Amino acid sequence: MNFTLKIWRQKDAKSKGGFETFKVQDISPDTSFLEMLDILNNNLIHEGKDPIVFDHDCREGICGMCSLHINGFAHGPDTEITTCQLHMRKFKDGDTITIEPWRSSAFPVIKDLAVDRSAFDKILQAGGFISVNTGGVPDANSILIPKKDADESMDAAACIGCGACVATCKNGSAMLFVAARVSSLAKLPQGRVEGARRAKAMVAKMDELGFGSCTNTRACESQCPKLISISHIARLNREFLKAKFRD
């Protein structure tokens, strides 16, 4: 398969970027999208040119590092996958593919397709923890949790923090990410003790870092590789409002 690639090149966050066009040929349909970029970079290096910078790590759909906007879709034109799980058979031979980094003021470009997503780490540091007695390990069944609550908590905890929700949202909102983190603890008794403080702290940090507001377009949900539901945003709003009423 042969493809024309329009790839965003940018030296750093302060430099002006633009698209550059590249050709790749004889790509197997079973090649993953990142492997295709590896082939392109190998060709560029042999030609003495600067390779394309992009993030990747596990290449198993676990870490969320492979964050690319492909033909207008976060992680590409498929569902329930990250970019590393996207294969070239999803495209047609001869296609032109446009590849961009995440677009958000809170995610400044490091270089080319790689962006700085440390804003998510700062939100987690603001409230994504619980205070527990670190003595002996308690029996797993000492605190009974209804299966429905446990399932909802685990569904929220499936968030890999890739940032697709922010990149997809027209407002650049991080509400789905924050909601997933808050919800994963709010449904468990261990997380209830600090629930009010957590909701306020994480929302405040999100606003401070320049993320936009949520207007419930559900774009975040549609492009999330783990299909995190926006019902968690409703829970975050409830947690936040209850905390404010207590104040």
Output the domain CATH number for residue 133.
Answer: 1.10.1060.10
Neighbouring CB atoms inside 10 A of 131's CB total 9
Q: What is the CA radius of gyration of the chain?
A: 20
Domain shared by 221 and 141, yes or no: yes
Q: Is the pLDDT of residue 131 over 80?
A: no
Q: Are 68 and 117 in contact (CB under 8 A)?
A: no
Domain end among 110, 145, 162 = 110
What is the torsional sign of CA 47, 48, 49, 52? Answer: positive
Q: Is the pLDDT of residue 139 over 80?
A: no
pLDDT value, residue 24: 97
At 152-166, the pLDDT tens digits run: 999 999 999 999 999
Domain shared by 126 and 214, yes or no: yes
Q: What contacts 131, CB < 8 A, 6 or more positions away?
A: 193, 194
Query: Percent of the chain, pLDDT > 70?
Result: 96
Per-residue exposure over 8-29, b if at least 16 CB sit within 10 Å of its own CB, e if not: bebeeeeeebeeeebebeebee
Looking up tokens 């590409």 gives 76
How far apart are the C-alpha atoms of 221 and 212, rounded to whole Å? 16
Mean pLDDT taken over the chain: 93
Domain shared by 90 and 10, yes or no: yes
Domain end among 110, 128, 147 = 110
Query: Percent of the chain, pLDDT > 90?
Result: 83
Domain shared by 191 and 206, yes or no: yes
Amino acid at 205: K
Average pLDDT over residues 36-57: 97
Average pLDDT over residues 109-126: 96
Interior angle at CA 198, CA 197 and CA 204, nearest 5: 90
Counting Cβ atoms within 10 Å, is residue 56 exposed (0-12), middle (13-18) or buried (19+)? Answer: middle
Domain end among 89, 110, 131 = 110
Domain shared by 121 and 44, yes or no: no
Domain shared by 94 and 127, yes or no: no
| Domain membership of residue 133 as a residue range | 117-246
Query: How many structural domains compose the chain?
Result: 2
pLDDT value, residue 242: 87
Domain shared by 10 and 71, yes or no: yes
Q: Is the pLDDT of residue 148 over 80?
A: yes
Q: Are 168 and 223 in contact (CB under 8 A)?
A: yes
Domain shared by 121 and 103, yes or no: no
Q: How far is CA 98 from its chain centroid? A: 19
pLDDT value, residue 192: 84
pLDDT value, residue 36: 98
- Here the CATH number for the domain that contains residue 62 is 3.10.20.30
Looking up tokens 């992009």 gives 54
CA 85 vs CA 48, 69, 76, 214: distances in Å? 29, 14, 10, 28
What is the torsional sign of CA 28, 34, 38, 44? Answer: positive
pLDDT value, residue 191: 85
pLDDT value, residue 228: 95
At 68-101, the pLDDT tens digits run: 999 999 999 999 999 999 999 999 999 999 999 9
How far apart are the C-alpha atoms of 120 and 115, rounded to whole Å? 12
Please state which of the ranges 131-140, 164-173, 179-188 shows the lowest mean pLDDT. 131-140
Domain shared by 170 and 198, yes or no: yes
Domain shared by 76 and 165, yes or no: no
How far apart are the C-alpha atoms of 79 and 112, rounded to whole Å? 25
Q: Which residue has the higher pLDDT, 121 or 133?
A: 121
Please state which of the ranges 39-48, 108-117, 124-133 shows the lowest mean pLDDT. 124-133
How far apart are the C-alpha atoms of 220 and 175, rounded to whole Å? 9
pLDDT value, residue 84: 96
Q: Is the pLDDT of residue 141 over 80?
A: no
Domain shared by 97 and 124, yes or no: no
pLDDT value, residue 190: 82
Counting Cβ atoms within 10 Å, is residue 98 exposed (0-12), middle (13-18) or buried (19+)? Answer: middle
pLDDT value, residue 140: 61
Domain shared by 102 and 141, yes or no: no
Q: Is the pLDDT of residue 201 over 90?
A: yes
